[in-house]
């Protein structure tokens, strides 16, 4: 009561004062000194000095001490000061380059802040509190296994489900098998073993990887191309890297370079692990699988005219056409993991397009899409590209990567998730987080992987330093653990050629230290400049691909008439039929004879005036007659309670058949074809168990034709799409003329990432003759 009365008295007094004060108060707005607005123009020049970064005339970051940096990059001056203890971690000394030392300390601190206190596992970043398979795996692979081996183990264990397989996090169409890059877990697990020599971890991780890979072999392997299907690794926001028309089925049917390098790596690692475990036959078998996949990657995805890989191959139904965009992460990993020959690796690293501020996730950019993966630079991708530069002895690339990430980390005062590709700003992307785990690991990898040239091999820790000429003075890294040894490493000189390598003051005839080294040791490396000529492909940041045509068709007098709207004035258009370029036209229509005995697939792409290609248009399927069959699923055999009438969101079928994840769930359909030949078989269906861009409820079913297993049908989530009825993947089968029976059923290895919900509703079965 007293508080209420005091408040009332105060308010009454205040009103009285205000009512008595009749003096007019004016504010002189003309003479207020306004703080100039900070501008972030495209292509603003920057330079790196030993103790500061300068960008333009009004942005700089400078070192106060090894534990403090200040920056005027933002509207108000800000600073970073070390708060966490990092004494237990390797210590960098760079007296001639204090900025490098301070940024290294900042990265170490942020790595500690990215450890969840409750679980002692890595979170993905300040705004991403969860433990994510992809994020932790790349981060551990880049650098964190070296300094956090136990936290790395805990993090990796957190991404294994109760059935002992690697978890594919939520994603397009309901996660696995639309996305299949969960196998990057193997990169991290193998790195942890090499760092620790822990045989229990080796056996545990071998079994996890093998179990996961065997499921991928059965569900995601495409026999026609010898590649694995699945969305690009890391670039998992559909419209950011794929044409808008591509839904989850089409993305799941594509074959990306980054995901296939991950699958290659997992099989190569299984072979190496098997050797360590004494499993000779398994080692040979997995190495054979890895080499087959390597051959398929090089023969199917390499763009000879570009000198690098295609980001992805479109679904087989389109005839195996390739995207002409890059996937910078996949390209870099292909070099690091040995997918390409030495000559091709050198060519790739020199040809991959990059821009002033860093390595864009893809190139050329997609017009009209807000920056994130598209029109975005991700520091961990730049770090992998820099590592690829080290592998190929490309000093231009190492120089570029060090400058790119040093600029960003110093000016931003944190290792941010991404930045806009044309002005290097950390504001303006879809979402951005400070102390992003893989960006932190990326900066640490510059020190460990590039400057000190560390490579954990089967024989030991190998050193192949790469030190650009602008990094002044000696570099020293102390308290660095090599299993049971503690190293104090110093590097002097510039270049990539090792002039001398001393261990404990004595000449050492190898640059690889064995794992059985014990105790404290000093390593002294003296470099000398070599005369290797290297180059880098820095391009303008304004390069965009044309818009993707929207294709429609009609059948008129036994002719196929294709039509599309103009992408831009003066553009030409390529007509593709069954994957082959038929004609280049300037018109907005094209007429072809209708094939009477087979299905034909058409798509169109646009060519800009300077020859840049668009993505391929949506494909259209002609000739549903003349041998094509449409069979309502309700006409088949199934459990009595699975027929559902009047399906929601469907205009293509009157009734649907519900499939559920139970052992007795089975659908059988009989059909007859008039002649022997190749056929595509697919369903239309509904799966509204989650949004098209998230969740983990993609439905999976095994298929048998006449009692023989022929593959898996995948029914991704489509919730959130305007047209919620979609097509499943297609299975290509050689059919004899006559009667056949197709059966769908739920097998043990059809379990999705959700485990509990694995449902869809089927409408029609389509059987399309293609040859």
The CATH number linked to 284 is 1.50.10.10
Does 84 reside within a domain? no
DSSP designation for 618: P
Structure tokens at 644: 């559902």
Does 357 reside within a domain? no
Does 4 reside within a domain? no
- One domain, residues 600 and 746: no
- One domain, residues 646 and 604: no
Instruction: Judge contact between 323 and 356, C-beta under 8 A.
Output: no
pLDDT at 626 over 70: no
- One domain, residues 596 and 725: no
- What are residue 573's DSSP bridge partners? 585, 606
- One domain, residues 139 and 277: yes
Q: What is the mean pLDDT of residues 18-27?
A: 43
Does 175 reside within a domain? yes
Grade residue 648 by pLDDT with cuts at 50, 70 and 90: low
Grade residue 623 by pLDDT with cuts at 50, 70 and 90: confident
Number of domains the chain contains: 3
Q: What span, in angstroms and rounded, lies between the C-alpha atoms of 717 and 685? A: 10
The CATH number linked to 668 is 2.60.120.260
Can you give the pTM of this predicted structure? 0.94
Cα of 533 vs its chain's centroid, Å: 31
Quick check: helix, strand or coil at residue 443?
helix
C-alpha distances in Å from residue 262, one per residue of 138, 187, 321, 389: 11, 8, 22, 19
**Residue 715 parent element (H or E):** strand 708-715
Contacts for 310 with CB less than 8 Å, ≥ 6 apart: 257, 301, 302, 303, 322, 323, 324, 325
Q: What span, in angstroms and rounded, lies between the C-alpha atoms of 531 and 657? A: 69
Does 31 reside within a domain? no
Q: What span, in angstroms and rounded, lies between the C-alpha atoms of 90 and 101? A: 12
Helices 437-445 & 98-113, crossing angle to 10 degrees?
Answer: 140
- One domain, residues 648 and 552: no
Q: What span, in angstroms and rounded, lies between the C-alpha atoms of 447 and 104? A: 8
- One domain, residues 238 and 257: yes
HEC profile of 471-518? CCCCEEEEEEEECCEEEEEEEECCECEEEEEEECCEECCCCEEECCCC
- One domain, residues 745 and 698: yes
The CATH number linked to 612 is 2.60.40.10
Domain end residue (candidates: 571, 599, 622): 622
Does 181 reside within a domain? yes
Domain end residue (candidates: 606, 622, 638): 622
How crowded is residue 31: how many other Cβ atoms within 10 Å of its Cβ? 6
- One domain, residues 602 and 638: no
Domain end residue (candidates: 351, 383, 415): 351
Q: What span, in angstroms and rounded, lies between the C-alpha atoms of 73 and 410? A: 9
DSSP string, 330-366: HHHHHHHTT-S-HHHHHHHHHHSEEBTTB-BSSSSEE
Q: What is the pLDDT of residue 149?
A: 98
- One domain, residues 197 and 263: yes
For 653-682, write each residue's pLDDT tens digit. Answer: 678 899 998 888 999 999 999 999 999 999
- One domain, residues 556 and 686: no
Does 745 reside within a domain? yes
Using a 10 angstrom Cβ sphere, with 0-12 exposed, 13-18 middle and 19 or more buried, the burial of residue 64 is middle
| Per-state percent for the chain, helix, strand, coil, to nearest 5 | 30, 30, 40
Q: What is the mean pLDDT of residues 404-427?
A: 98
Q: What is the pLDDT of residue 655?
A: 84
Could you list the residue range(s) of the whole structural domain that residue 738 is in? 629-769
- One domain, residues 559 and 692: no
For 300-359, write each residue's pLDDT tens digit. Answer: 999 999 999 999 999 999 999 999 999 999 999 999 999 999 999 999 999 999 999 999
- One domain, residues 591 and 692: no
Phi-psi region of 570 (alpha: psi -120 to 50; beta: other; left: phi over 0): left
Does 275 reside within a domain? yes
> What value does the mean pLDDT of the chain take?
93
Alpha helices in 533-594 (DSSP H): none
Tokens 């079928």 belong to 653
Torsions phi, psi for 390 (to 5 deg): -65, -40
For 267-288, write each residue's pLDDT tens digit. Answer: 999 999 999 999 999 999 999 9
Strand ranges in 594-663 using DSSP code E only, listed in sequence order: 600-607, 620-622, 629-632, 643-645, 655-659
Q: What span, in angstroms and rounded, lies between the C-alpha atoms of 151 and 6? A: 56
């Amino acid at each position: 009561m007293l508080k209420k009365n005091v408040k009332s008295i105060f308010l009454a007094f205040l009103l009285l004062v205000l009512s008595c004060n009749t003096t007019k108060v004016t504010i002189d707005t003309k003479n207020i000194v306004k703080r100039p607005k900070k501008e972030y123009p495209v292509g603003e020049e920057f330079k790196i000095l030993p103790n500061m970064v300068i960008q333009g005339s009004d942005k700089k970051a400078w070192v106060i001490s090894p534990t403090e940096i200040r920056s005027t990059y933002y509207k108000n001056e800000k600073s970073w000061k070390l708060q966490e203890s990092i004494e237990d971690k390797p210590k960098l000394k760079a007296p001639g380059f204090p900025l490098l030392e301070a940024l290294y300390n900042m990265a170490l601190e942020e790595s500690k802040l990215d450890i969840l206190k409750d679980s002692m596992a890595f979170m993905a970043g300040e705004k991403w509190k969860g433990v994510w398979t992809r994020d932790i795996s790349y981060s551990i692979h880049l650098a964190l296994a070296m300094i956090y081996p136990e936290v790395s183990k805990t993090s990796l264990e957190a991404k294994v489900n109760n059935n002992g397989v690697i978890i594919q996090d939520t994603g397009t169409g309901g996660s696995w098998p639309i996305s299949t890059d969960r196998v990057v877990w193997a990169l991290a697990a193998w790195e942890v073993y090499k760092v620790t020599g822990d045989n229990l971890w080796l056996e545990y991780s071998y079994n996890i990887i093998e179990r996961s890979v065997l499921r991928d072999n059965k569900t995601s392997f495409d026999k026609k191309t010898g590649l694995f299907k699945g969305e690009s690794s890391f670039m998992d926001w559909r419209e950011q890297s794929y044409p808008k028309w591509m839904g989850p089925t089409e993305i799941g049917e594509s074959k990306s370079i980054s995901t296939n390098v991950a699958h290659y790596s997992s099989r190569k690692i299984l072979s190496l692990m098997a050797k360590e475990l004494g499993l000779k036959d398994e080692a040979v078998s997995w190495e054979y699988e890895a080499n087959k996949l390597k051959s398929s990657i090089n023969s199917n995805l390499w763009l000879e005219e570009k000198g690098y890989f295609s980001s992805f191959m479109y679904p087989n139904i389109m005839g195996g056409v390739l995207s002409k965009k890059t996937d910078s992460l996949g390209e870099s990993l292909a070099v690091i993991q040995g997918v390409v020959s030495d000559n091709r690796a050198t060519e790739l690293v020199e040809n991959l397009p990059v821009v002033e501020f860093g390595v864009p996730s893809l190139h050329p950019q997609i017009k009209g899409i807000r920056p994130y993966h598209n029109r975005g630079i991700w520091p961990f991708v730049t770090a992998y590209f820099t590592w690829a530069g080290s592998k190929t002895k490309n000093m231009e690339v190492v120089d570029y990567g060090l400058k790119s990430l040093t600029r960003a980390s110093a000016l931003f005062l944190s290792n941010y998730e991404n930045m806009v590709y044309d002005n290097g700003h950390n504001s303006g992307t879809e979402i951005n987080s400070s102390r992003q785990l893989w960006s932190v690991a990326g900066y640490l990898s510059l020190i460990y992987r590039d400057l000190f040239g560390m490579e954990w091999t089967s024989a030991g820790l190998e050193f192949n330093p790469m030190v650009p000429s602008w990094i002044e003075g000696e570099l020293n890294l102390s308290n660095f653990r090599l299993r049971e040894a503690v190293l104090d490493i110093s590097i002097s000189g510039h270049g990539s050629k090792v002039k001398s390598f001393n261990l404990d003051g004595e000449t050492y005839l190898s640059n690889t230290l064995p794992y059985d080294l014990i105790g404290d040791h000093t390593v002294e490396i003296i470099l000398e400049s070599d005369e290797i000529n290297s180059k880098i492909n820095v391009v303008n940041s304004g390069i965009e691909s044309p818009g993707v045509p929207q294709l429609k068709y009609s059948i008129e007098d036994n002719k196929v008439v294709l039509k599309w709207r103009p992408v831009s004035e003066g553009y030409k258009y390529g007509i593709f039929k069954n994957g082959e370029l038929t004609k280049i036209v300037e018109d907005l229509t094209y007429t072809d004879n209708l094939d009477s005995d087979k299905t034909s697939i058409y798509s169109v792409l646009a060519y800009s005036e300077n020859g840049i290609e668009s993505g391929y248009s949506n494909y259209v399927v002609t000739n549903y007659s003349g041998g094509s069959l449409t069979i309502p699923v309700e006409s088949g055999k199934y459990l009595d309670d699975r027929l559902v009438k009047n399906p929601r969101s469907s205009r293509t079928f009157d009734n649907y058949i519900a499939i559920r994840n139970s052992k007795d769930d089975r659908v059988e359909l009989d059909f007859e074809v008039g002649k022997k030949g190749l056929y595509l078989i697919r369903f239309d269906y509904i799966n509204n168990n989650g949004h098209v861009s998230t969740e983990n409820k993609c439905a999976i079913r095994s298929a048998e034709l006449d009692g023989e297993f022929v593959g898996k049908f995948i029914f991704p989530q489509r919730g959130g799409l305007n047209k919620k009825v979609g097509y499943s993947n297609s299975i290509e089968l050689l059919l004899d003329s006559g009667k056949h029976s197709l059966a769908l059923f739920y097998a043990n290895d059809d379990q999705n990432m959700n485990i509990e919900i694995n449902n869809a509703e089927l409408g029609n079965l389509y059987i399309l003759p293609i040859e």
